[in-house]
Each structure stands twice: as C-alpha cells, then as structure tokens.
Structure 1
C-alpha cells in the first residue's frame, strides 16, 4: 500500500490504541522479545502518525507487551479447556491477538470496538475467519450475537476499563452476567493509586492530544469481584512478575518491594461471572 492510513478521525480515547501497537512493533525486532507480533510491525508502517515522541518510553513499552502476553496465555488456557468457545475482545483497537495466537479454531472469535475504530482496523487488518463488531461495549446488541452460539464465552478486556468509572465498569459486568451467565473474563486492572494520574503516564503524556484520564483502578482482586456478585477469581498475575527484568532500573527496585507490587502493579485476572 503506497498511501498511509491516517487515524485522525478517531476519538482521543480510541487514539490510545496506537500506544500498544507501537510497543508491540518495537518489541518484535528484539532478540529477547517477550511478545512476537509481526502484524503490529506491519501495521505500524502503514499508519501516518508521528511515533517518535515515544522513542524513550521504556516502562509502558515493555508493560504493553507483557500485558498482552499474559492475557494471550490466559485466553489459551480457556480455549484448551473449552475448544468450542466463543471469544470476544472488547475494545480490541488494533490488537492482532487472533493472528498472534495462530487463529484458534474456536466456534467464533469477535473483535469489538467503536465503528470508527473498526473502520481503521479493517483497512489495516482485514477479517479472516474472525469477525468484527463495530459497536459500543455498553450496547446489549453484541451479547445477543454471542449468546446465539450457545457456547462457553471468554471476554478479553485489555487496556480499556481504566478509562471508565466504577459505575460504568459495573454496568458491563451486570450486563454480561444477565445476558451471558457463566462467562469468563480475562482482563487487566490498573492500580487504584494511578487513578487521576494519566498525565504522569510515560506514554500517554507523549500523545499529541490531551490524554483521557484514568478513572478506575483496584486495590486487589476483591475490588473487581465486588462489582459482580457471585463471581469468582480463577487466576491472578502481577504484570511485574513477567516484566520486571525488562523495566528501567528504578522500577525494578520498586517492584521488588511488597508496597510496589500492591500499590503500583497492574493485575491481570481471569474471573468467572
């Protein structure tokens, strides 16, 4: 493709999808990469956007890749347990998880995001045997599409929920419990101490636009479970358990402490609603 694609028509919130895309593309070229995503590298070259301000961003570059890898592994464990699964990525952005995981032979795989994001996604990464849904995750219509399969469901929610307040996060869980009972969710959760501090985030503060604010975070897994009564925790992993050796020196020291892990670390969880 000779003409590059401009994401200028997407919202500021949706523009945050360019950060993990950049992070994965950079990681792909490293001999010690913790994530191998050739689609990210390919897509980055197709986008008319100045990524140079991110050149010195270290922690989030590693963190985005570690987060994606851990959630890939959680998703794979679910698929191993439920080969006939229906998998849905909410707020999929430009993530190529379906391709990265080898196009799993599940009943159905849906990548869901706002219509303007799906338009850009289709230009960069056309559907293969997966399907795209251009709809808000708060719209119940997508749950009807998923429920029609009558199969076990996994939702993957990555890099999304921190931009919504607790009531909105609760509403998503309540909707899923009502429309898709028994669904499992693989998700990340920001530390509560980071709420209101998006301007301090090493990558977000480099964006051309004023970044959206962090509005929801957790102290521990119980803060997630309380939003969905009757839910249970299946597994929980701290992001630093994978990424700490790759972080800048000062962060490596912080995450060696109990305080750092409890108060600053991102948590990756798989829960059953």
Structure 2
C-alpha cells in the first residue's frame, strides 16, 4: 500500500520546487543540473503514488526555479569560501538538495529548518549530514538551536510570500539578534509578483494563497534587523538565460530591458548583517 503524504497546501509547494529542479536536470541543457532532485522525486512518486503531473509546471517556472537556486548556491559557496567554519541556515528547506550541490567543507555547520512533517520526509527521502530543525519558522524558540558564535549564511528560497503578516520580518530580526555576523540571501518577490503567484496554474493546483512581498530592495534595511543591502540580482539579465528554452528565452530577454519589469520576475537579494 502506498505511503501517504500528509502535507498542508503550503507544505506541498516543496514538491513543486523539487519537481521543477528534477525536470531541469532532465533537460538537454540543464541550468542547475540537480540529478539528486530527480532521484528524490522518482522515489516519492514510486512510494506514495504522488502525481507530479498535476502541478502543471510550465517551462518558464522550471527555468526560473533552477536559475534562482543556482544563484543562491553561488552566494553560499562564496560565503563559505571566505568562512570555512561558518554556519548555513536554510529556512523552509523543503526537500532541497542544496547541501549536496554546495558540498561545503566538514567545518561548515549546516542547519535545515522546516515543519516536522517536512523534516520527516527529508529523513526518509533526502538524508544528509545537516542538522535538522523541526519547527515552524515563525515561532521564536528554535533559533536558540543555532550556534551563536560563528559567521552565518541565512538562505530563504521561496519562503517570503507564504508567511503571514510581518512574520518574515520578525523571524529575520530574531535571527540577526541571535547570530553575531553574516549574510542573508533570498529571492525577493515584489508585492505584485506575490499577488500574481496566486493565479499561477501550479500554485492554484495546490490551493495556496500567497500574497506577501516588497518592492524596494532597501526595505529590509528598515526592519530593525541590522541588514545592509549588498546586491540585487535581476535574473532576467543573468547569462544563464541563454540556456532557457524558447520562447521563454526571448520573453525573458525582452523583460531584461526594463528594470521595473525585471523586478516582477525572479530577483535575488543579498544582505549583510
């Protein structure tokens, strides 16, 4: 009898991003090339009978998901190259195989944080050497499980629009108060992009209501979290767009001519604290 997946609609979005990375890895010219994601997705489908096809992933979403993961990975690699005994905290990690992709030295402490239901799935389908923190990221207590004496890279991929109210800002304040120094990288949704996500076929298929974002990349500097903007990457202008399939590539390059339009697509925001 197939194993049942007991995930809320928001938690189920981890399967959407997992499958997007899996499909990218099967492309003739992958952007991320995460073959482990493909293996994990296949195991889940075999064990549970989960129908990934219902997610209705478009080629644009597959390409943008792979590209943003690649850029976030790059930021982490650069950080741990400078701080070989650092800590990495992956917020809302889902079933991401980022640790395997980044392959940090053994001196790096890696903490994957997500709901208990999700960390159970990680233990079953994607075990690694990371420290698993089973918690709702909006709660206060779990940050005390992190080392408070080492430079830390915080990564939040796809998390911002799904957290209610100002809970994302509150979470970041707790982290930067706990941690001595470090960096934060996230894919920053504008308010319009977060609102429009609700109508994306893949998100509608899961019944998720996502609607939180911010327009000004300097806004987090006003969260009282000691953040300073380092860089805003507009991924419509990334060289990897050359590997996007047509007509996604042509449309992305057209958007790249406008900063305002590019911000409605995928952007990676990088802060220091």
TM-score above 0.5 = yes
Q: Does 1:179 align with 2:178?
A: yes
1:221 is matched with which residue: 217, 222, 228?
217
TM-score (norm 2): 0.88
- Report the alpha carbon displacement of residue 188 of structure 1 after superposing the two structures with TM: 1.1
* Residue in structure 1 matched with residue 188 of structure 2 by the alignment: 189
Task: After TM superposition, list the pairs within 5 Å mapping 1:108-257 onto structure 2.
Answer: 108-127=109-128, 129-148=129-148, 150-205=149-204, 207=205, 209-214=206-211, 216-242=212-238, 244-245=241-242, 246=244, 248=248, 249-257=250-258
SS in 2 for 1:195: helix
The 1:181/1:73 distance shift into structure 2, 3 A limit, reads: same
Cα distance in 1, alignment partners of residues 79 and 147 from structure 2:
18
The 1:144/1:45 distance shift into structure 2, 3 A limit, reads: same
Structure 1: stretches of 5+ with no match in the other structure: none
TM-score (norm 1): 0.88
* Residue in structure 1 matched with residue 102 of structure 2 by the alignment: 101
Contact 1:191 1:266 in 2 (8 A): no
The 1:53/1:102 distance shift into structure 2, 3 A limit, reads: same
Q: Larger deviation: 246-255 or 137-146?
A: 246-255
Q: Larger deviation: 177-186 or 86-95?
A: 177-186
SS in 2 for 1:200: coil
Cα distance in 1, alignment partners of residues 165 and 228 from structure 2:
18
Contact 1:154 1:185 in 2 (8 A): yes
Count of residue pairs brought into register by the alignment: 264
- Report the alpha carbon displacement of residue 137 of structure 1 after superposing the two structures with TM: 1.5
* Residue in structure 1 matched with residue 260 of structure 2 by the alignment: 259
* Residue in structure 2 matched with residue 46 of structure 1 by the alignment: 43
Contact 1:98 1:104 in 2 (8 A): no
- How well do the aligned residues superpose, as a CA RMSD in angstroms? 2.1
* Residue in structure 1 matched with residue 29 of structure 2 by the alignment: 32
Structure that is richer in helix per residue: 2
- Report the alpha carbon displacement of residue 19 of structure 1 after superposing the two structures with TM: 1.0
Contact 2:236 2:252 in 1 (8 A): no
